[in-house]
Structure 1
């Protein structure tokens, strides 16, 4: 399963195989190391460190992990002891448990640092290759909701730009932007932009100066789940943004992020306190 290109060269996503259909765990017999009884270090701690080293040196993110039963047999330990070691690694986000499926190596979550930059810039900063599948690029009439959010009259023309955003070929979020059509005359005469904010800045002189975000937890609908390659009802982060140039509303957007690939990181500072430390990328 993965990204494919149709004859026109447009990137799309092959959903013919569900991401959870096939999981083949490595054998517990492959794990090197032995428990040293009477060493003064608790047995579950020894096992935890053996498993941690094996994960870091031999397994890829998302890989299936041996069962507690197999690990207990491999190290001649009670399953309760094995569970205690695995629980510690789950708490540390080294491993993930998925009910009904098993235990897996944790996939890194990207810190969703809220700022007015493009998706392409953010993924390139992380050393990943961004890509996008355009789902719609059209002019629509402002609904009552859009009119309220964009401070327009109902029925006024709005540009709708909806995309599935990917990183290293994997779907990460569904983004939908709404821009008052009078702000971007002729934008539909050109192909869909690869970076919306760059086009707004370079072609229309609309440099986003500030914004307001609302972030909440939500569950994946059938249509969003299909696009993001997750199950219906899986947790997502929903971000609604109002972006401004001076005091004018220019962009209203709604984004759905996979909660298994993102975590929200918000720097805080007490008024009058020291300046916050410099941000460093985390993966």
Structure 2
């Protein structure tokens, strides 16, 4: 089955649950979640598909709504489903696990077979304040390009990204930033990013971030601050990004030298 993703709710096939054992010591919610997860991994449920509501599924399977709700929450926690206000429960490609290396989120999603998309929230020329000037190693008051973008993966909001770029890049257009990743654009201009300083953290989302990411108001978000430098040691961008924690994680390899 390859369900449509045009917003019409997808009815989960009852034969998906034929082997559920109601007498087993394995909880029913876990059996349901396991079968839905397998359908997602196997491609039976397409990214973006909106699932039928808990009441409908519970009635068809003759199971209680709390059981169905817990099964769905299990998959939300694992990053296979998201709950979106006004839309319902929706399939995502799977949790994004991003290695901490010199790549952009757009590149990582594209390589992972997902469909990255960008909504440009802000594109303006500003003067660098003290903090931005320090990050970019420019004089305070120098013109810089200020960007704010919403990054989506298979139609699901994943990150709110804020970037500052030095004067050499203030001619980047709004159209180019919606169609391609920032690092793609920089590479296209001959800029090779060689090294970066990065800090990963967490905090409560702002009201606007909660709305954009479609999470609970003041819910937790992962954060990443990064200053990237080219092969000549010149800062080419400073970014402050926040990510949905239910669908995003960082992966780090540690080596004992």
1:279 match: none
1:197-236 equivalent positions in 2, closer than 5 A: 197-203=183-189, 205-236=190-221
Structure 2: gaps of 5 or more residues: 1-8, 84-88
The match for 2:171 among 177, 181, 187 is 187
CA distance in 2 between partners of 1:165 and 1:254 (Å): 13
CA distance in 2 between partners of 1:124 and 1:214 (Å): 24
2:86 match: none
Deviation for aligned residue 1:255: 0.8
Q: Does 1:52 align with 2:34?
A: yes
Q: Report the number of matched residues.
A: 229
Deviation for aligned residue 1:240: 0.4
Q: Does 1:175 align with 2:161?
A: yes
1:120 match: 106
Q: Which TM-score applies when normalising by structure 1?
A: 0.64
Deviation for aligned residue 1:226: 1.9
| Runs of 4 or more above 6 Å deviation | 23-30, 58-62
Deviation for aligned residue 1:228: 1.7
1:43 match: 25
Contact 1:211 1:241 in 2 (8 A): yes
Structure 1: gaps of 5 or more residues: 1-22, 76-81, 99-103, 272-283
The match for 1:133 among 119, 124, 127 is 119
Q: Which TM-score applies when normalising by structure 2?
A: 0.69
The match for 2:254 among 264, 268, 272 is 268
Shift of the 25–243 alpha-carbon distance from structure 1 to 2, 3 Å rule, reads same
Question: Match of 2:208, SS?
Answer: helix
Give CA deviations for 1:146-192 in whole Å, capped at 9, x if unaligned: 122222222111111221111222221111111111x33x6157844
1:92-111 equivalent positions in 2, closer than 5 A: 93=78, 108-111=94-97
Give CA deviations for 1:223-252 in whole Å, capped at 9, x if unaligned: 112222222212111110010123222211
Contact 2:125 2:144 in 1 (8 A): yes
Q: Larger Rg: 1 or 2? A: 1
CA distance in 1 between partners of 2:62 and 2:139 (Å): 69
